[in-house]
Amino acid sequence: MALQTIWAQKLKSFFSLIGVLIGVTFLIAVVSIVQGMNVYVESAVTDEVGGVNSFQLRQRPNFTGGDVDEAQWRSWFRRPRISYEDSEYLRERMTVPATFANYCADRVTLEYDGRRASDIELRGTEESYFDLKAYELDAGRVFVRQEVRTGSPVVLLGFEVASRLFEGEDPLGKSVKIAGIPYRVIGVVESQGTLFGMSQDKFAIMPYSAPGRRLICPLNVMDELMIRPDNPQQLDAAVGEVEALMRARRQLKPDEANNFTIETADEALEFWDKISTVLFTALPLLVGISLVVGGIVIMNIMLMAVSERTREIGIRKAIGAKRGDILSQFVVEAATLSVTGAGIGILAGLGLAFVVKALTPFPAAVAPWSIGLGVTLGILVGVVAGVYPAIRASRLDPITALRAE
């Protein structure tokens, strides 16, 4: 019956639906998008840093909040870069047992037999890198200490690079060219899949000392030194030790700031945390506002329904409807409206989230709790908005109501 009445008043019902609908759509879409971005940023950052248990010693931060001014940039670039000697120095003196990997990277083009793979990240590093990144191989082997020491022209290919250059041919032992220099392919890294639409397999890894290392880093320096304490519990101790050793090595006075950056996954995520905290604080506010607006719209619709349907209320009371009967009729109608609104809102919110997913690299991680919250809020708003008009309607005297026209 509630549905019938609502259907009969399509247009008005439609407008009152809109309020709740927008609120719920908003809630679900924003939660999904923010969560999706969270998942994205977290895995991207964690991946970049080399896992939650590792950290990097760098000349300047890799992840910065947008609020960096030019003076700050300039001061970062004036800092000394991390050198091979820094790396040796730390390895010799660190007391916390740890794994280290020098690391440098830049975009290059690879060639094989006339085929080209461009925009490939060429990484120069050492054998421990494979352990730090937990890379498994599809074929071949990783390079060894000896090859790093002698700077052998060997390379491991990312899955996509291998399949693009070799198209089914066995890449092992073949020679690829990077900027004219030939490298022997010794392994293929297992596919890392896509991270939110972007292939994670467009890279090649060579010893940092291999010929052509100048393509990615000036002589004797690196982008970063990756460090992972063997015992994850000692992450903080290791960070502290690296900081102290570097300050000592660079002879910084106690009141001088670090002229290097130590970046942990947590730190890199901090900037993102700030943004998502703002979003998550603003979110309930925005959703609250749109639901209140929706509620007011519903309440007005229901009040209108009451005065327009006074005669109906009179008829119902004349044939024996109690106050409670009228009340529940109106509450049910309001609830039906808002639940329908919430339902459509869920679909619209999901739709919006998927549109965002399709158009941006961000995944839309739909949070089940946001759907639950949407439905709960929708019903709540509807019932609250329905109760007041319903109470007014139920108090009417039957004959007064019947005379209304």
The size of the chain, in residues, is 405
Token digits of residue 239: 């960070």
Establish if 3 lies at the interface with other proteins (CB under 8 A). no
Smallest gap from residue 333 Cβ to other proteins (A): 13
Smallest gap from residue 384 Cβ to other proteins (A): 24
Under rule CB under 8 A, how many of the chain's residues touch other proteins? 21
Which C-beta is closer to other proteins: that of 365 or that of 402?
402
- Show Cβ contacts of residue 380 under 8 Å, excluding neighbours closer than 6 positions: none
DSSP assignments along 232-273, one per residue: GGGHHHHHHHHHHHHHHHTT--TTSPPSSEEEEHHHHHHHHH
Establish if 5 lies at the interface with other proteins (CB under 8 A). yes
Environment class of 215 (CB within 10 Å of its CB; exposed 0-12, middle 13-18, buried 19+) = middle
Establish if 402 lies at the interface with other proteins (CB under 8 A). yes
Which C-beta is closer to other proteins: that of 316 or that of 357?
316
Tell me if 34 sits within 8 A of 279, measured CB to CB. yes
Binder of other proteins out of 6, 165, 287, 321 (CB under 8 A): 321
Binder of other proteins out of 295, 314, 363, 389 (CB under 8 A): 314
Establish if 19 lies at the interface with other proteins (CB under 8 A). no
Tell me if 192 sits within 8 A of 201, measured CB to CB. yes
Which C-beta is closer to other proteins: that of 282 or that of 318?
318
Establish if 322 lies at the interface with other proteins (CB under 8 A). yes
CB atoms within 10 A of CB 83: 15
d(CA 159, CA 137): 9
Binder of other proteins out of 172, 323, 365, 387 (CB under 8 A): 323
| Residues forming beta bridges with residue 155, ordered by sequence position | 185
Smallest gap from residue 339 Cβ to other proteins (A): 21
Map residues 342-381 to x or -, x wherever contact with other proteins holds by CB under 8 A: ----------------------------------------
Map residues 292-311 to x or -, x wherever contact with other proteins holds by CB under 8 A: -------------------x
Binder of other proteins out of 164, 213, 316, 357 (CB under 8 A): 316
d(CA 330, CA 304): 12
Tell me if 204 sits within 8 A of 123, measured CB to CB. yes
Binding site for other proteins (CB under 8 A): 4-5, 8, 311-312, 314-325, 397-399, 402
